[in-house]
Amino acid sequence: MKQLFFVVVLTLLGSVFYCQAQTLKVGHLDQKAILQNIPEWKLAEKQFEDYLNMKKKMLEDKQKSLQAMVADYETRKQSGTLSPKLEEELIVKIQTEEKNFQQLQATAQDEVNSKEQELTAPIQKRLNEALKAVAREGNYTYIIDVSEGFVIYQDPAGDVSPLVLEKFKTIK
C-alpha cells in the first residue's frame, strides 16, 4: 500500500514538473478593430448594406401592394359592391398573395445570409490564416479575441493585432 501511494505521489509530482517546464504564451487581439482596418472588409460591408437595402425595398414594395389589395377589398366590401363570388375570389387572391409574401420574406432572408457569407468568408479565411501564422511564428499557445469584452485584463504588450493585420496584408 505504501508503495502504491509512493508511486502515485511521484507520478503527480512528475506531471506538475512537466507542466511547469512547458511555457505558456498568450496573446490577444481585437478582431473587430482589425477588420475595420481592412479596406476589403469595408467594401464588403458596403456591398452587403446595399444588397440588404435592395432586398428591404423589394419587400416593402410587395408589402405595400398587399396592403393596398386588402384596403381595396375592405372598401369594396363596406360599400356593398361585392358579389359573394367576387368577394370569395378576392379573399383567395389576398390569401395567396400573403402566402407568396411570406415565402418571399423567407427566400430574401436566405439570400441575404448567403450574400453576407459570400462577401465575408474570403476575408475571414485570410484573417484566420494570418492569425495562425502569427501564432506559429510567435510560438503562442493561445491567442484570445478581446473584441467581445469577456477579458477582464490584458497587457498591451500581448496585443498581436498589429502583427495579424500586417500578416493579413501578405496573404492573398
Residue 146 confidence (pLDDT) above 70: yes
Q: What is the mean pLDDT of residues 116-137?
A: 95
Give the pTM.
0.75
Residue 50 confidence (pLDDT) above 60: yes
Q: What is the mean pLDDT of residues 3-31?
A: 61
pLDDT of residue 31: 94
| pLDDT band of 132, cuts 50, 70, 90 | very high
pLDDT of residue 159: 85
Q: What is the mean pLDDT of residues 20-40?
A: 87
Give the closest residue to 117 by CA, choosing from 48, 19, 46, 18.
48
Instruction: Locate the domains of the chain by residue range.
Output: 23-170
DSSP state of 141: S
pLDDT of residue 17: 47
pLDDT of residue 66: 95
Q: What is the mean pLDDT of residues 107-124?
A: 97
DSSP string, 72-112: HHHHHHHHT---HHHHHHHHHHHHHHHHHHHHHHHHHHHHH
Residue 2 confidence (pLDDT) above 60: no
The number of C-alpha atoms within 13 Å of 34 and in the hemisphere containing its C-beta is: 25
Helix 39-79 / helix 84-137 crossing angle, nearest 10 deg: 170
Residue 8 confidence (pLDDT) above 60: no
CB-count exposure of residue 164 (10 Å: 0-12, 13-18, 19+): buried
Please report where in the chains the cell 469584452 appears, as a residue.
Answer: 149
| pLDDT band of 39, cuts 50, 70, 90 | very high
Q: What is the mean pLDDT of residues 1-12?
A: 44
Q: What is the mean pLDDT of residues 14-26?
A: 63
- Averaged confidence pLDDT in the chain: 87
